[in-house]
Amino acid sequence: MSDRCGTGGVPSISSSALAKLGGEVSPVPERTPSPGTPGGAPETPESAATSLKQLGEMRTPPAPQSNIHVMTIIGQIEGHIVLPPQNKSTKYEHVIPQLVAVEQNPAIEGLLVVLNTVGGDVEAGLAIAEMIESMSKPSVSLVLGGGHSIALPVAVSCKYRLIASTATVTVHPLRLSGLVIGVPQTYEYLEKMQDRVIKFVAEHTRISPEKFRELMFRTGELVRDVGTVLVGSDAVNLGLMDAVGGLSDALAALNRMIEERRAGRAEVAGREAARLQ
């Protein structure tokens, strides 16, 4: 048995494993060729095992464990109702505990949120935005394609926000494409819901609530609707996003923030150690 274990750390396939693979392998006697004679080995079941091993599937080398977590928010942000399967959706009941895990897991040091979203449930979107906003770990958002409607609060909830130069953000009122299920759809109610979105965006960006409301109700940009379409740099100029950029910019910003956080923590730890001495 010691022979078997000593063949350069490569586990040999046992007879039972062979039987599982081939199905018609006669029981292998407990006899092993001496290690270190790989070439020209006689046709023993053991060499059959070796060739079987060599024919096995190709495996890509395991990727090193990353210290960032990428969260892609795509399609509709799904709320309390499971949307029909033709929708691609981001499920908030999964994303929220995932954010808890990201905050709690010591191996994860930063969060990259990639958005390409057409909107979705107001409360689910605001819930995700509030969760990301209240995280202590660095977060960077990257808007690609589109970050419309409720995606905007999610995008601005990150500590640093980037938008691709061709990406668009549609700012429009809740009233015209909103739907209330099971709640009396009064104007005041929708107004209140809308104020939550405006308040969140205004609090976390350089835009004023008045200016954001103006963008929401601007006429002439959308054919049958009021609202504004902001392309890449428009969103930056209005103060909604921090910069126009792409993947490398997002990762560079995130890594820089991670480094700063590490340095800050090291400094605090150093001061604490000095205090205790």
Q: Which two tokens stand for residue 3?
A: 């022979």
Identified catalytic residue from 69, 148, 157, 172 = 172
**Residue 190 touches other proteins, criterion: CB under 8 A:** yes
What are the b/e assignments for 79-116, b being 16+ CB within 10 Å? beeebeeeeebbebeebeebbeebbeeeebbbbbbbbb
Please identify which residue in 38, 56, 97, 264 interacts with other proteins, judged by CB under 8 A. 97
Please identify which residue in 197, 230, 236, 257 interacts with other proteins, judged by CB under 8 A. 197
Q: How many CB atoms lie within 10 A of CB 225?
A: 12
Question: Would the CA dihedral through 186, 189, 190, 191 be positive or negative?
Answer: positive
**Residue 81 touches other proteins, criterion: CB under 8 A:** yes
- Containing 191, the helix (H) or strand (E) segment is helix 187-204
Residues in contact with 179: Cβ distance below 8 Å, sequence separation at least 6, in sequence order: none
Q: Toward other proteins, which CB reaches closer, 148 or 161?
A: 148
**Residue 179 touches other proteins, criterion: CB under 8 A:** yes
* Contact string 157-176 vs other proteins (x = CB under 8 A): -------------x-x-x--
| Annotated catalytic residue 172 | yes
**Residue 220 touches other proteins, criterion: CB under 8 A:** no
Q: How many CB atoms lie within 10 A of CB 60?
A: 5
Question: Least distance (Å) from other proteins to the CB of residue 268?
Answer: 25
Site residues (CB under 8 A) for other proteins? 69, 76, 79-87, 91, 93-94, 97-98, 100-102, 104-105, 118-123, 125, 146, 148-150, 170, 172, 174, 177-183, 190, 193, 197
* Catalytic (active-site) positions: 149, 172
